[in-house]
Amino acid sequence: MDKKKVLIVDDQNGIRVLLLEVFSSEGYNTFQASNGKLALEIVRKESPDLVLLDMKIPGMDGLEILKHIKQMNQEIKVIMMTAYGELDMIKESTELGALMHFTKPFDIDEMIQAVNTQLGKDQSRFAFGS
């Protein structure tokens, strides 16, 4: 079975590295981009299954990147990451097709669970209380 592809778009290197490690170890094929231009090139080339997209990126903000991703491929799932309660942007990103958003600092386990759920990954190894 082909590995699902996850693209991480954030201008903060630390967050990209953390998420890359986490989702690589979850068995995903991971890509990273520090800006919108690079993110869209990767979307064009790799057609990721899911994009973790930071709302605040210098140059081209998350909403703009989200619009472009959805123009290229409606099927790509997008989860937004935001540093502070940018409620107007969150609302707009939902209208543009983002599935959900996480506020930084986010709970990494919740993020993993959300991505696995969106990508239909079996989560039986996470034993939640019955």
Assigned domain for 11 exists: yes
Give 40-50 pLDDT, tens digit per residue: 999 999 999 99
* C-alpha dist (Å) from residue 117 to 63, 97, 114, 122: 23, 17, 5, 8
Radius of gyration (Cα) for the chain, nearest Å? 14
pTM of the predicted model as reported, rounded to 2 decimal places: 0.91
CA of 100: how far to CAs of 46, 61, 91, in Å?
22, 17, 10
Contact status, residue 64 vs residue 37, Cβ threshold 8 Å: no
Residue 26: domain span: 5-118
**28 in any annotated domain:** yes
Number of folded domains in the chain? 1
pLDDT at 9 > cutoff 60: yes
